[in-house]
């Protein structure tokens, strides 16, 4: 995948699929995954959109500079990518950490967005101590120390039992994530509280939640929906990675809103 050089020297990996003249759609993935997370949506999305996927700093082939990172830094990375691709306004869909970046963009750079989708995410993910504990564990023992616990929170037991291959693909993405990059992004989530600023989001917004999501429970989706005026809320029967666990329903909701 090609790389761009951001303003701080970090190299960011991205790929573009779909028709060159299609409306641009940016997809931003969760903590500990890579662009492959969106494969269940790609066939449908690339029929209509020029789909831009990127790996957050610290993930995939992107650089993993020494942290901590901030949500503002992660948001500025997206703006740098858009500038590199000569794109002023885009549709944006982010899941989990990607949705936190989407909130930052909606609050601070809403003029760059046509539509915004915030999936399985939250404006605040406290307490900070729990994130610090995870960061310390990964720093000391690597990604394998947290991967199985993360999988348990990302998918329902029924999905794991019925879909071992899909589950293992996500497991491998987690294990391949650079520990320094994972910890840097954990710090951005640890230090984030976007709740007071949700009212500044003035772009059509869809919030997608999972009814069985222990990582960002339904109340987190409802909080975003209440805080963003005029937003739409869709709840799916899924845990955290609803785009994988309920791929067809997620894709349908996404396409309906983006159109």
Quick: pLDDT tens for 177-189.
999 999 999 999 9
Residue 191 CA to residue 186 CA, distance in Å, equals: 9
Q: What is the DSSP string of 29-73?
A: --TT--GGGGHHHHHHHTTT-EEEEEEPTTSTTS---SS---HHH
Residue 30: per-residue pLDDT: 98
- Angular region, 230: left φ>0, alpha ψ -120 to 50, beta rest: left
**Cβ 238 vs Cβ 210: under 8 Å:** yes
pLDDT 10s digits, 9-18: 999 999 999 9
pLDDT digits (tens, 9 = 90+) for 162-173: 999 999 999 999
CATH for 70: 3.40.50.1820
User: Which pLDDT score is estimated for 252?
Assistant: 98
Residue 224 zone, left/alpha/beta (φ > 0; ψ -120 to 50; rest): alpha
- Rounded CA-CA distance 112/90 in Å is 6
Domain that holds residue 160: 3-258
Number of domains in the chain: 1
Looking at residue 37, its pLDDT comes to 97
């Amino acid at each position: 995948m090609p790389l761009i050089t951001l303003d701080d020297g970090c190299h960011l990996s991205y790929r573009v699929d779909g028709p060159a003249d299609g409306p641009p759609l940016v997809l931003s993935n969760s903590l500990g995954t890579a662009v492959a997370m969106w494969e269940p949506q790609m066939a449908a999305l690339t029929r209509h959109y020029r789909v831009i996927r990127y790996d957050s700093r610290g993930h995939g082939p992107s650089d993993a500079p020494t942290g901590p990172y901030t949500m503002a830094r992660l948001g500025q990375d997206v703006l740098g990518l858009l500038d590199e691709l000569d794109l002023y306004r885009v549709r944006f869909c982010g899941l989990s950490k990607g949705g936190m970046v989407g909130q930052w963009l909606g609050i601070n750079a809403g003029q760059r967005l046509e539509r915004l989708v915030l999936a399985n995410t939250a404006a605040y993910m406290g307490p900070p101590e729990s994130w610090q504990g995870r960061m310390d564990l990964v720093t000391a023992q690597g990604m394998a120390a947290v991967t199985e616990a993360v999988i348990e929170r990302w998918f329902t037991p029924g999905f794991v039992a019925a879909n071992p291959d899909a589950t293992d693909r996500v497991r491998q993405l987690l294990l391949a994530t650079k520990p320094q990059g994972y910890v840097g992004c954990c710090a951005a989530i640890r230090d984030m509280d976007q709740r007071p600023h949700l009212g500044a989001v003035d772009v059509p917004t869809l919030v997608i939640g999972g009814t069985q999501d222990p990582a960002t429970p339904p109340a987190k989706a409802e909080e975003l929906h209440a805080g963003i005026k005029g937003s739409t809320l869709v709840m799916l029967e899924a845990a955290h990675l609803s785009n994988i666990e309920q791929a067809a329903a997620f894709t349908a909701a996404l396409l309906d809103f983006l159109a």
